[in-house]
A = this chain, B = another copy of it.
Amino acid sequence: MAHYMRSERLYHVMLPQQFEEALMERLFDTADLIKEITRKSNGSGFLKSVLQHKKAMLYFTQPSTRTFLSFLGACQLVGMDTAEVRDPSLSSEYKGESQEDGVRVFSSYFDCIVMRDPKPGFCEYMAYLLDTTGRSVPILNGGSGKDQHPTQALLDLYTMHRSFLSRGGIRKKRYAFVGDLLRGRAVRSVVFLLSQYQDLEFHFVAPDAFQIAPDLEDHLKTLGISHHLSEDLESVLPEMDCVYMTRLQDEYDLSGESQLVDYSRYSLDLGKVKNMKPESIILHPLPRRDEIHPEVDADPRAMYWRQLRNGMYLRAALLLHVFGAAHRLQEY
Is A83 on the interface with B (CB-CB < 8 A)? Answer: yes
Closest to A133 in B: B297
Q: For chain A, residues 276 to 311, give those with C-beta under 8 angstroms from any C-beta of chain B.
A: 286-289, 294, 297-298, 305, 308-309
Contact with A69, one of B70, B83, B133 (Cβ below 8 angstroms): B83
Q: Is the interface of A mostly helix, strand, loop or mixed?
A: helix
Inter-subunit contact A101/B287 (CB<8 Å): yes
Which of A20-28, A44-52, A150-158, A171-179 is near enough to bind chain B? A44-52
Copy count, this protein chain:
3
Q: Given A73-B109, A83-B73, A305-B135 in contact, is the A65-B91 Cβ separation under 8 Å?
A: yes
Inter-subunit contact B108/A308 (CB<8 Å): yes
Which of A92-100, A188-196, A223-231 is near enough to bind chain B? A92-100
- Inter-chain contacts of A289 with B (CB < 8 A): 95-97
Is A66 on the interface with B (CB-CB < 8 A)? Answer: yes
Q: How far is the CA of A63 from the CA of B135 in the complex (A)?
A: 26
Is A43 on the interface with B (CB-CB < 8 A)? Answer: yes
Contact with A108, one of B95, B97, B105, B309 (Cβ below 8 angstroms): B309
- Inter-chain contacts of A91 with B (CB < 8 A): 63-65
Q: How far is the CA of A73 from the CA of B294 in the complex (A)?
A: 36
Inter-subunit contact A105/B69 (CB<8 Å): yes
Mask: chain A, 236-261; 1 = CB below 8 Å from B; 0 = not:
00000000000100010000000000
- Inter-chain contacts of A161 with B (CB < 8 A): none
User: Which of A38, A86, A90, A251 is packed against the most chain B CB atoms within 10 Å?
Assistant: A90
Inter-subunit contact A53/B65 (CB<8 Å): no
User: Which of A66, A94, A102, A132 is packed against the most chain B CB atoms within 10 Å?
Assistant: A66
Q: How far is the CB of A212 from chain B (nearest CB, A)?
A: 21
Q: How far is the CB of A303 from chain B (nearest CB, A)?
A: 12
Q: How far is the CB of A247 from chain B (nearest CB, A)?
A: 7
Inter-subunit contact B92/A287 (CB<8 Å): yes
Inter-subunit contact A63/B43 (CB<8 Å): no
Inter-subunit contact A43/B48 (CB<8 Å): no
Inter-subunit contact B52/A65 (CB<8 Å): no
- Inter-chain contacts of A48 with B (CB < 8 A): 52
Contact with A70, one of B109, B286, B287, B298 (Cβ below 8 angstroms): B109
User: Which of A94, A95, A104 is packed against the most chain B CB atoms within 10 Å?
Assistant: A95
The 5 closest A-B pairs by CB, nearest first: A44-B53, A97-B287, A76-B81, A65-B91, A73-B109
What would be 27 A-B contacts, judged by CB atoms less than 8 Å apart? A43-B53, A45-B49, A45-B53, A48-B52, A63-B90, A63-B94, A64-B91, A65-B91, A65-B102, A66-B105, A69-B106, A69-B109, A70-B109, A73-B109, A86-B90, A92-B287, A95-B251, A96-B247, A97-B287, A100-B294, A101-B286, A101-B288, A105-B286, A108-B308, A108-B309, A132-B298, A133-B297
